[in-house]
Structure 1
Amino acid sequence: MHVLGLSAFYHDSAAAIVADGRIIAAAQEERFTRKKHDSNFPLQAISYCLKAAGRSLDEIDHIVFYDKPFLKFERLLETYMAFAPRGFASFRMAMPIWLKEKLFQKSLLGKELRKIDEKWKAPEKLLFAEHHLSHAASAFYPSPFEEAVVLTMDGVGEWATTSVAIGRGAELTVEREIHFPHSLGLLYSAFTYFTGFKVNSGEYKLMGLAPYGEPRYAKIIRDNLIDLKPDGSFRLNLDYFDYCTGLTMTNSRFDELFGGPPRRADQLLTQREMDIAASIQLVLEEAVLTLTRSLAKETGLANLCLAGGVALNCVANGKVLRDKTFANIWVQPAAGDAGGAVGAALTAYHGLCGGARKVPASGDAMAGAYLGPSYDQADIEARLSQAGAKFEVVDDVTLLSRSADALADGKAVGWHQGRMEFGPRALGNRSILGDPRSPKMQSVLNLKVKFRESFRPFAPSVLREHVAEWFELDTDSPYMLMVADVVQDRRKTMSEEEQKLFGIDKLNIPRSDIPAVTHVDYSARIQTVSADTNPRYHALISAFKERTGCPVLVNTSFNVRGEPLVCTPEDAFRCFMGTDIEVLAVGNCYLRKEEQDPSLKRSYEDQFELD
Structure 2
Amino acid sequence: MTSVLGISAFFHDSAACLVQDGVIVAAASEERFSRRKGDAAFPAQAAAWCLEQGGLTASALDAVAFYEKPILHLDRLFESWLETAPRGWRAFLKGGPLWARDKIDLDGAIRRGLSDYTGKLLWCEHHESHAASAFFPSPFAEAAVLTIDGVGEWATATMGMGSGASLRLTHELRYPDSLGLLYSACTYHAGFRVNSGEYKLMGLAPFGTPRYLDRMLRELVDLRDDGSFRLHRAPFGFVDGLRMTTARFDELFDGPPRVPESPITQRDMDLAASVQQLTQMIVQRMVRSVVRETGVRDLCMAGGVALNAVANGTLKREQLVDRLWVQPAAGDAGGALGAALLAWHRYFGGARHRDSNDTALHDTMHGALLGPSFSDDVIAADLAAQGAVVETLGRDGVVQRTAECLATGGIVGWFDGRMEFGPRALGARSILADPRKNDMQERLNAHIKLRENFRPFAPAVLAERAHEYFDGIEGDESPYMLQVVPVRVDAPPLPAITHRDGSARVQTVTAARTPGLRAVLEAFAARTGCPVLVNTSFNIRGEPVVHTPADAYACLMRTDIDALAIGPYFVVRTAQPTVGDARWHVTLEPD
CA distance in 1, matches of 2:580, 2:388: 9
Secondary structure of the residue aligned to 1:162 is: strand
1:261-280 matched pairs, under 5 angstroms:
261-280=256-275
**Structure 1 residue 108, shift from structure 2 partner:** 1.7
Residue type at the aligned position of 1:384: L
Q: C-alpha deviations, 1:250-300, integer Å up to 9, x for none?
A: 000000001111100131001111111000000000000011112222321
Residue in 2 aligned with 1:180? 175
Secondary structure of the residue aligned to 1:365 is: coil
Q: C-alpha deviations, 1:524-568, integer Å up to 9, x for none?
A: 000000011111210100000011000000001000000000000
1:182-261 matched pairs, under 5 angstroms:
182-261=177-256
CA distance in 2, matches of 1:599, 1:445: 19
Secondary structure of the residue aligned to 1:489 is: coil
CA distance in 2, matches of 1:513, 1:101: 52
CA distance in 2, matches of 1:17, 1:147: 24
Residue in 1 aligned with 2:67? 66
**Structure 1 residue 603, shift from structure 2 partner:** 6.8
CA distance in 2, matches of 1:212, 1:260: 19
- Please say if 1:533 is aligned against 2:513: yes
Residue in 2 aligned with 1:137? 132
Q: C-alpha deviations, 1:485-506, integer Å up to 9, x for none?
A: 111202xxxxxxxxxxxxxxxx
Secondary structure of the residue aligned to 1:437 is: coil
Residue in 1 aligned with 2:27? 26
**Structure 1 residue 395, shift from structure 2 partner:** 1.8
Residue type at the aligned position of 2:52: K
CA distance in 1, matches of 2:238, 2:559: 38
Change (3 A) 1:575 1:602: farther
**Structure 1 residue 604, shift from structure 2 partner:** 4.7
Contact 2:145–2:290 (CA under 8 A) maintained in structure 1: no
Identity of aligned residues (%): 52
CA distance in 2, matches of 1:530, 1:442: 25
Secondary structure of the residue aligned to 1:173 is: strand
Secondary structure of the residue aligned to 2:364 is: coil
Secondary structure of the residue aligned to 1:356 is: coil
Q: Which moved more, 1:55-64 or 1:442-451?
A: 55-64
TM score, norm. by length of structure 1 = 0.94
Contact 1:2–1:60 (CA under 8 A) maintained in structure 2: yes
Secondary structure of the residue aligned to 1:598 is: coil
CA distance in 2, matches of 1:211, 1:423: 25
Secondary structure of the residue aligned to 2:506 is: strand
1:69-218 matched pairs, under 5 angstroms:
69-114=70-115, 120-122=116-118, 124-218=119-213
CA distance in 1, matches of 2:135, 2:114: 29
CA distance in 1, matches of 2:585, 2:295: 51
Secondary structure of the residue aligned to 1:254 is: helix
Residue type at the aligned position of 2:497: V
CA distance in 2, matches of 1:299, 1:12: 32
**Structure 1 residue 607, shift from structure 2 partner:** 3.9
Residue in 1 aligned with 2:319? 324
Residue type at the aligned position of 1:532: A
Residue in 2 aligned with 1:497? none
CA distance in 1, matches of 2:166, 2:399: 45
Q: C-alpha deviations, 1:189-243, integer Å up to 9, x for none?
A: 0000000000000000000000011111110001110111111111110111000
Task: Pick one of 339, 344, 348 that aligns with 2:339.
Answer: 344
Secondary structure of the residue aligned to 2:461 is: strand
Secondary structure of the residue aligned to 2:332 is: coil
CA distance in 1, matches of 2:354, 2:392: 40
Change (3 A) 1:320 1:605: farther
Secondary structure of the residue aligned to 1:515 is: coil
Secondary structure of the residue aligned to 1:554 is: strand
CA distance in 2, matches of 1:271, 1:346: 45
CA distance in 1, matches of 2:188, 2:208: 17
**Structure 1 residue 322, shift from structure 2 partner:** 1.2
- Please say if 1:422 is aligned against 2:417: no
Residue in 1 aligned with 2:448? 449
What are structure 1's unaligned runs of at least 5 residues?
115-119, 491-511
Residue type at the aligned position of 1:277: A
Task: Pick one of 552, 565, 572 that aligns with 1:592.
Answer: 572
Contact 2:313–2:484 (CA under 8 A) maintained in structure 1: yes
Secondary structure of the residue aligned to 1:591 is: strand
1:269-418 matched pairs, under 5 angstroms:
269-360=264-355, 361-362=358-359, 363-418=362-417
Change (3 A) 1:602 1:147: farther
Secondary structure of the residue aligned to 2:257 is: coil
Residue in 2 aligned with 1:433? 432
TM score, norm. by length of structure 2 = 0.97
Secondary structure of the residue aligned to 1:358 is: coil
CA distance in 2, matches of 1:600, 1:443: 22
CA distance in 2, matches of 1:207, 1:331: 17
**Structure 1 residue 165, shift from structure 2 partner:** 2.0
Contact 2:557–2:579 (CA under 8 A) maintained in structure 1: no
CA distance in 2, matches of 1:561, 1:327: 37
Contact 2:4–2:64 (CA under 8 A) maintained in structure 1: yes
CA distance in 2, matches of 1:139, 1:213: 32
**Structure 1 residue 601, shift from structure 2 partner:** 4.0
Q: C-alpha deviations, 1:61-80, integer Å up to 9, x for none?
A: 11011001100000001101
**Structure 1 residue 605, shift from structure 2 partner:** 6.7
Residue type at the aligned position of 1:47: A
Contact 1:403–1:540 (CA under 8 A) maintained in structure 2: yes
Contact 1:142–1:365 (CA under 8 A) maintained in structure 2: yes
Contact 1:577–1:602 (CA under 8 A) maintained in structure 2: no
CA distance in 1, matches of 2:404, 2:247: 55
CA distance in 1, matches of 2:60, 2:160: 32
**Structure 1 residue 95, shift from structure 2 partner:** 1.2
1:36-51 matched pairs, under 5 angstroms:
36-51=37-52
1:505-524 matched pairs, under 5 angstroms:
513-524=493-504
Contact 2:82–2:88 (CA under 8 A) maintained in structure 1: no
Secondary structure of the residue aligned to 1:240 is: coil
Residue in 1 aligned with 2:474? 474
Secondary structure of the residue aligned to 1:101 is: helix
Q: C-alpha deviations, 1:60-115, integer Å up to 9, x for none?
A: 1110110011000000011011111112111001111222331121112112222x
Q: Which moved more, 1:368-377 or 1:470-479?
A: 470-479
Q: C-alpha deviations, 1:442-498, integer Å up to 9, x for none?
A: 0000000010000000000000010000100214211100011111202xxxxxxxx
RMSD value, Cα: 1.1
CA distance in 2, matches of 1:304, 1:440: 38
Residue in 2 aligned with 1:609? 589
Contact 1:578–1:601 (CA under 8 A) maintained in structure 2: no
CA distance in 2, matches of 1:536, 1:265: 39
Contact 1:578–1:602 (CA under 8 A) maintained in structure 2: no
Change (3 A) 1:257 1:414: same
What are structure 2's unaligned runs of at least 5 residues?
none
Secondary structure of the residue aligned to 2:78 is: helix
Secondary structure of the residue aligned to 1:238 is: coil
Contact 1:583–1:593 (CA under 8 A) maintained in structure 2: yes
